[in-house]
Amino acid sequence: MKRVALVTGGARGIGLGISKALAREGFDLAVCGVRPPDQAAEAVPGALYVQADVGDRAARARLLEAVRQRFGRLDVLVNNAGITSLGRMDILEATEESYDRVMATNLKGPYFLTQAAAKWMIEQKKGCVIFITSISAVMATPNRGDYCLSKAGLAMATQLWAARLGEFGIPVYEVRPGIIKSDMTAPVTAKYDKLIAEGLTVEPRWGEPDDVGRAVVTLVRGDVPYATGQVLTVDGGLTIRRL
């Protein structure tokens, strides 16, 4: 029987790279996103697509029920869905509306989706959970304060869930991407083209969604055993401290 993976935000950007990598690995896939099915369902052929905002409790319940009805099992949860700060406003001008929206999608949603999925995995006596964070978990960007806080929170969520689920043999990992080509980074392409050319990253290129997808596959395949709670940074050497 094929293993089943759920990738939130799995029909575009980094999430699509993860979905495609898992499909190549032979997983049955469920993906969710906020776009209507006619705009997203064909991104990953053969996958179950569910229109669901992970920041909404009822939508999370509906998402997991759809996976249960279609596949009857869940082997891997990849918490990838996320949004950037609305308007990328300086923290001196940032709004509570943006903060609440970003936190609901990026932190509250995956925290409680993991809670529900973990109970299912405990029943199955198997599973794996991955949180997709960002270098923004450890690097300050003052015009995206709420985004940075949400990703730092997810880094701690990884450790919390790893500590809680260890007794059940369910590993939990954090994958921390750097500058990845996606819809989210499209508005700042020129900025990062210049910075990368000037040496921002050790590897002189943008990251690709497939780079993140292949890292996820390495973890869910079990190629990094005895390492629950650990961080796999996929940033081309951006966060190496250099003189």
pLDDT digits (tens, 9 = 90+) for 82-121: 999 988 899 999 999 999 999 999 999 999 999 999 999 9
Pick among 3.40.50.620, 3.40.50.1820, 3.40.710.10, 3.40.50.720: CATH of 4-234: 3.40.50.720
Q: How far apart are CA 103 and CA 55, in angstroms?
A: 8
Burial class (CB in 10 A: 0-12, 13-18, 19+), 216: buried
- Strand ranges in the chain using DSSP code E only, listed in sequence order: 4-8, 28-33, 48-51, 76-79, 128-132, 172-177, 231-234
Residue 183 is predicted with a pLDDT of 85
Give the confidence band of 203 by pLDDT, cuts at 50, 70, 90: very high
| 196, 204 Cβ separation under 8 angstroms | yes
Residues with Cβ < 8 Å from 213, sequence gap 6 or more?
14, 17, 18, 19, 20, 21, 22
Judge whether residue 186 has pLDDT over 90.
no
| 159, 133 Cβ separation under 8 angstroms | no
Residue 205 is predicted with a pLDDT of 98
pTM: 0.97
Q: Is 99 a catalytic residue?
A: no
- Segment 140-147 shows an average pLDDT of 96
Question: Which amino acid is it at 18?
Answer: I
Instruction: Between 183 and 192, name the one with better pLDDT.
Output: 192
Could you tell me the two tokens for 22? 């898992």
Cα angle, residue 19 at apex, residues 186 and 157 outer, rounded to 5°: 80
**Marked catalytic residue, from 49, 99, 111, 147:** 147
pLDDT digits (tens, 9 = 90+) for 224-243: 999 999 999 999 999 999 98
- Segment 42-48 shows an average pLDDT of 93
